[in-house]
Structure 1
Amino acid sequence: METKVVNFEAVKTGIANLFGDYMEGSTDKKMFCIFPSTHDNIDLIDLIIEKGSTHYKDFNYIDNSCSFEAISNIVSQYDNIIYFENSESTHSKELSKYLDKNPKDVFKFTRIFDWSFELFEQAFNAKRETIRRINESVIYKGWNSSVCSVKSNSGTDLEIALSQQYGWINSYGLTMGGHPSILPPSEAATYSDKINGILVGDGAINTNFKFDYDPRLGEYPIKIEFKDSQVVNFECPNYFIQSFLKQYFSIGNANRVGEVGFGTNVGLKYFVDFQSHLNERWPSLHLGLGAPNQGERIDWGSVYHLDIITNDTVIIFDNDIILQNNSYKVIEGNINLDGIPMGYADTL
């Protein structure tokens, strides 16, 4: 499968958009960055330092082999602190304990996953306000609808019951709920225990565990049949993926849908060839199999989570088309989300 050539001018623009839009950087603020210690993409670090220094009064950095004590000692000196991550969180337990004791400091911290040139080439093309409006439109319409229908030319044909019994995730880079803000954006997600029909995953897969195989599915789509939100049949023309799915679905509750996800990052241009939240943010439907996103609202759980991501679907809430040709219908004017149970991050 073809690997895209990175556009370095787009990378520079993405870095500028991160600091200028998502981080609201300015020359009267101070920024501190923690980079991966693997020394991958040294040129990318140089670009971030170069661009970041133009947005902030003071711009400093360290690699993540440092102790958390080194970070906690400088929190008071900075307005923003970014952890650039590969796929796992650095100082996760230590930072959680620190924020429990210092809750006001949560607004300083951001975790940015998928450390790569592709992250900056794609993730920050759409403005945060654009993504916020899309998310709020999806959540408002979903909350006030009873059925979500999803169809695609590749064969997806799903009926998803929507219920106000379940909450929503509203991920667009906002810090809420005592946890750092999470990037890349963006996604709106909920849960349903009544999903029936066929899903054709022709975009990519993503996992919450190590997965070294090319996750893109364009050349070998996964076809899954669901009954009451459980997998009853599946097939994939790729032998490795088929074997992987057979093993995965044999794990307790891993064959149950734990998430109904709507990727909302309309600035993405292509699926990347490595395990990445970028693929999950693609503007279409994805279903998360395994670990659910509802906490105590449901009575089952799973350690593992596998996202099956579609490429191009038509999504209808009741009789209202909300997504077509990877473009969302956005509500004009004020959107009132009062009373909707809401989380603001889908990973920590």
Structure 2
Amino acid sequence: IRHAHMVNINRQIMLEGMRADFLKVDELSQRLVERARKAERITCKTPHGTEFEAELSPELKWLKTSGIITRDKWGNLPGGEIFTAPINTNGVFVVDGVVGDYLCERFGDLESNPLTIEVEDNRIRSLRSENKELRDEFRAYTSTDENSNRVGEFAIGTNTACTHVIGHILQDEKIPGVHIAFGHPYAEHTGANWASKTHIDCVGRDFDIWFDGEQVMHRGKFLI
């Protein structure tokens, strides 16, 4: 049995992210995940203010969901990302793409009113946004339980057919670049030893990414 989720799929996603050559997406994802598994630190920056670093552990698995659905694990479509649970993260992450869960439908594309998240030792230290409602809703969501404000996922989108933010988390988190999530670390897959009842993704734009100092992306374009 092979199982795929297409949560709230729409026509735009069918015409964009679902039209990717998933064999090529899988090849890219495999090259990237092989490098990621050897990395101790990943650093990312954007022109919009993100300066963020993830510390990684070989004991926490990297996973690839590239649109090729296997019998081993269900996946979302459109596919195209690699992800892990970081052992630690620090820095500023500017969410000028979208946030996940029900907040995505409510607030949509955040380019004009981004959410700036300061993270210290893997937890939210501060939130800033001119959109007070967004800031307060996000703060409430990430206060649900003791680990809702903890970074549980560090991911890199690999679907090169996704070229712009559409305001829909299912596709936008597959855009080439970094997204992080607060809350549940998919412990059943990554091997993390903690849990949360919540999980909310945060997507940015126009990333530069380095694996242990080696640049693998410039302004959202892969260099590998």
TM (norm. structure 2) is: 0.91
Could you list the per-position Cα deviations for residues 195-219 of structure 1 after superposition, in whole angstroms to 9, with x for gaps in the alignment? 0111111111122x57541321101
User: Partner of 2:28: helix, strand, or coil?
Assistant: helix
Could you list the per-position Cα deviations for residues 131-163 of structure 1 after superposition, in whole angstroms to 9, with x for gaps in the alignment? 112211221111111111111111111121122
Gapped regions of structure 2 (runs ≥ 5): none
Identity of aligned residues (%): 22
Q: Which has the higher contact order (CA 8 A, sep 6+)?
A: 2
Gapped regions of structure 1 (runs ≥ 5): 1-105, 331-348
Instruction: Pick one of 106, 128, 145 that aligns with 1:235.
Output: 128
Give the distance between the partners of 1:154 and 1:180, measured in 2 at CA. Answer: 34
Code of the aligned partner of 2:181: G
Instruction: Pick one of 226, 233, 237 that aligns with 2:119.
Output: 226
User: Partner of 1:231: helix, strand, or coil?
Assistant: strand
Alignment of 1:1-348 (within 5 A): 106-107=1-2, 109-207=3-101, 209=102, 212-252=105-145, 253-273=147-167, 275-295=168-188, 297-330=191-224
Give the distance between the partners of 1:226 and 1:113, measured in 2 at CA. Answer: 29
CA contact (8 A) 2:23 2:68 kept: no
* Higher Cα radius of gyration: 1
Code of the aligned partner of 1:129: L
Code of the aligned partner of 1:161: E
CA contact (8 A) 1:315 1:323 kept: yes
Give the distance between the partners of 1:162 and 1:132, measured in 2 at CA. Answer: 22
Higher helix share: 1
Code of the aligned partner of 1:224: I
TM (norm. structure 1) is: 0.60
Q: Count the aligned residue pairs.
A: 222
Structure 1 outlier segments of 4+, above 6 Å: none
RMSD: 1.9
Deviation of 1:226 (Å): 0.9
Could you list the per-position Cα deviations for residues 224-258 of structure 1 after superposition, in whole angstroms to 9, with x for gaps in the alignment? 11111111111111121011122112211110011
Give the distance between the partners of 1:301 and 1:162, measured in 2 at CA. Answer: 18
CA contact (8 A) 1:290 1:301 kept: yes
